[in-house]
Chains A and B, each alone.
Chain A
Amino acid sequence: MMFLESLLRDYTLQIVALGSVILGAVSGILGSFAVLRKQSLLGDAVSHAALPGIAFVFLLTGVKKTEMLLLGALISGLIGAFIIISIDRYTRIKFDSALGLILSSFFGLGLVLLTYIQKRPNANQAGLETFIFGQASTLLKRDVYIMIALGGIILLVVGLFWKELKLFCFDCEFGKSIGFSDTKINLILSSITVLAIIIGLQSVGVILMSALLISPGVAARQWTDKLSCMVILASVFGMVSGVVGTLISSSVAHMPTGPVIVMVISVIMFFSLLFATKRGILWRYIKTRRDSRDINECKILINLYESALNHEEVRHAHKTTMLKPIKSLHYLRDKGYIRRDYLNTWVITDLGMEKARNSIDKNRGERV
């Protein structure tokens, strides 16, 4: 409640929160595609590669205008992405090595330039290093307008090319054979991904930006088997972590916004990995246990059923030792499928006979 109150009253907070929401939404959408293409780390390399662009623009112009700096980031990010894709295509160097090469060399260059800038006698240079870790509190209304515009472009492009993006991510070779050039779609997807990264540079920074791209997509994938649901869910996760992260960092002193947002989305991701229905680790564990128990019971019941059919006296009792494990016997008794005869022997009931017949029929049906 206190959070919400401050959100309603504090104008700066509103700006920052709005920025974070846009960032979360956009990076969730594009992160989903990156995760499905198994290119999550491309975003990481591109965001690191954006740093020298920012420094270059500042060196050239000497002013700290967000639009100009981000334009520099955009250009050097795109150059980085282009080099990575070229290395992968035209050399024998593997994709992950290409990522590492570009990430470290561009980031290194960025740091060199930033250090050089800081040593220069110029009153204007302070604050450029915020792009490394991000500083959401420096967001101005104008910056958020830029974010809204870029976010709108991204949404529009994803909406228009939804079918093509799906085809490309699932089976790009088939897509190519029916006339959807993979180069074109890749260009579209890479461009909007770089735009999303640019949106995040100011508040989250080049180092942590990849977390915002990867985590919402991974988290959303755990809950759904439908691409549209996954993309929407990922963007919702992104938005939630944007707002929650902003509010936490504003109400606790000395909490950086960007890293807190990343922490929130990481918590969402780990929670999803563990507890999501269907794909979550815990859910799968429980299901495996339950399945093997069911199969075991079914096996014992069918054994009893078949030997009941083979004995002249239908209610022939069997010894426990023949029917292990004992735990399954107790389950079956609790369900009324078998009952205990004298001492350590068990007899199948009418209900059990019926159940066994059913499961034999069902299994046969499934095999056909």
Chain B
Amino acid sequence: MQKYIIEVEDMTVAYEKKPVLWDIDIKIPKGVLMAIVGPNGAGKSTLIKAMLNLIIPISGKVLFNGACYESQRRYIGYVPQRGSVDWDFPTDVLDVVLMGTYGQIGWIKRPGKKQKEKALDAIKKVGMEEFVDRQISQLSGGQQQRVFLARALVQDADIYFMDEPFQGVDAKTEKAIINILKELRSRGKTVIVVHHDLQTVKEYFDWVTLLNTKLIKYGKVDEVFTDENLRMTYGTIGPILKGE
């Protein structure tokens, strides 16, 4: 039997009376770069938030390496949606990236030299070394996204969840980010990404989950990412993928 790094079992999430996720079962093997795609309101963000214990599901559970989230938190990194925070907050790039080390430090203790070096390394990796002291309100959208990515890299996790890391970034930044994600995969990390652009799924990812409240299909991109499955996900008329 294959060992799965993430197992989602019978997960159902609802806001008020409206179910957002319906009885989801997913088993994700180690070392894949997986996109979660689906129409607006399909529950993509909700799915990763529920996996991260940020939303309490009505039923179902998530196992990481066969254990519960709390015990595996140290090995899980998270990149929230860029728009979820106030970028006018009085702080700089280094400070935000340092927040990625807080989980390892624990309560009350402060980050030291070692953490700072780690943060600077991650900042370099995302190509932001010129902006270490930059006030975060003066960053462009792409730069903000790189900062969030650096913060997650500092977490030095085995599993990464990213909520629309390509939203509102230019082509150059998108390339830079996907290269980092692919590098993570080559080091055996598992990366789960909420993604919007169907055109790039084949190019960027090797696994995909098609979601529309219910789980439509998931698995290897070659096998699952077909016109028919996409039509089932989006329910639209006509071809969804252009030029194929």
A283 within 8 A of B: no
B80 and A171: CB pair below 8 A?
A: yes
Stretch of A104-112, A175-183, A197-205 that contacts chain B: A175-183
Chain B residues near A170 (CB-CB < 8 A): 85-86, 89, 91, 96, 99
Question: A177 near B76 (CB under 8 angstroms)?
Answer: yes
Q: CA A163 – CA B107 in complex, angstroms?
A: 8
Give the distance to chain A from B158, nearest Cβ to Cβ, in Å: 14
Min CB–CB distance B33 → chain A (angstroms): 20
B99 and A174 contacting across the interface, CB-CB below 8 Å: yes
Residues in A neighbouring B155, C-beta threshold 8 A? 178
Residues of the B chain whose Cβ atoms lie less than 8 Å from the Cβ of A164: 102, 107-108
Kindly specify which of A225-233, A255-263, A313-321 makes contact with the partner chain.
A225-233
Contact A174 B80 (CB under 8 A): yes
CB of A176 within 8 A of CB of B108, answer no
What total of chain A residues lie within 8 Å of the partner, measured CB to CB? 27
Q: Does A141 contact B (CB under 8 A)?
A: no
A173-B107 contact in complex given A225-B135, A227-B90, C-beta closer than 8 Å = no
Is B235 close to A, CB under 8 A? no
Closest residue on chain A to residue B85 by CB atoms: A171
Residues of chain A within 8 A of B137, CB atoms compared: 225
Q: In the complex, A235 Cα to B99 Cα: how many Å?
A: 25
Q: Is the CB of A177 within 8 A of B91?
A: no
Query: Are A180 and B90 also in contact (CB < 8 A) when A173-B84, A174-B80, A225-B135 are?
Result: no
Question: Is the pair A166, B85 in contact by a Cβ cutoff of 8 Å?
Answer: no
With a cutoff of 8 Å between Cβ atoms, the chain B residues found around residue A169 in the complex are 89
**B107 contact set on A, CB distance < 8 A:** 161, 164, 180
Docked CA distance A161–B52 (Å) = 24
How many angstroms from the CA of A179 to the CA of B52 in the assembled complex?
11
A171 touches B54 (CB 8 A): no
Chain A residues near B90: list those with CB within 8 A: 36, 221, 224-227, 229-230
Q: Is B78 in contact with A174, judged by CB distance below 8 angstroms? A: yes
How many Å lie between the Cα of A173 and that of B103 in the bound state? Answer: 13
Tell me the smallest distance from the CB of A9 to a CB of chain B, in Å: 41
Once the chains bind, are B99 and A171 in contact (CB under 8 Å)?
A: yes
Residue B110 is within 8 A (CB to CB) of chain A in the complex: yes
Interface string of A147-178 (1 = CB under 8 A from B): 00000000000001111101101110111111
Instruction: Output the nearest chain A residue to B103 by Cβ-Cβ distance.
Output: A178
Chain A residues, CB < 8 A from B102: 163-164, 167, 175, 178, 180
Q: Known contacts A225-B135, A227-B91: does B85 contact A179 (CB below 8 Å)?
A: no
Residue of B nearest to A227 (CB): B90
Q: Mark A78-103, 1 if CB is under 8 A from B, else 0.
A: 00000000000000000000000000
B175 within 8 A of A: no
Minimum Cβ distance to chain A for residue B177 (Å): 18
1/0 per position for B51-75, CB-CB distance to A under 8 A?
0111000000000000000000100
Given A171-B85, A178-B155, A226-B91, decide whether A160 and B78 contact each other with a Cβ distance below 8 A. no
Q: Which residue of B lies closest to A228 (CB)?
A: B90
Name A163's contact: one of B80, B96, B110, B135 (CB within 8 Å): B110
Q: Which A29-68 residues have C-beta < 8 A from chain B?
A: 36, 38
Shortest distance in angstroms between B223's beta carbon and chain A's nearest beta carbon? 31
Instruction: Please list 8 pairs of residues, one from A and one from B, whose beta carbons are closer than 8 Å in the complex, sorted by A's number.
Output: A36-B86, A164-B102, A166-B95, A175-B99, A177-B54, A178-B73, A221-B90, A226-B90
What is A's interface to B at a CB cutoff of 8 Å? 36, 38, 160-164, 166-167, 169-171, 173-180, 221, 224-227, 229-230
Interface residues of B (CB under 8 A from A): 52-54, 73, 76, 78, 80, 84-86, 89-92, 95-96, 99-100, 102-103, 105-111, 135, 137, 151, 155
Task: Please provide the 10 A-B residue pairs with the shortest distance between their CB atoms, ordered closest to farther.
Answer: A178-B103, A177-B78, A225-B135, A171-B85, A170-B89, A227-B90, A225-B90, A177-B52, A179-B73, A230-B90
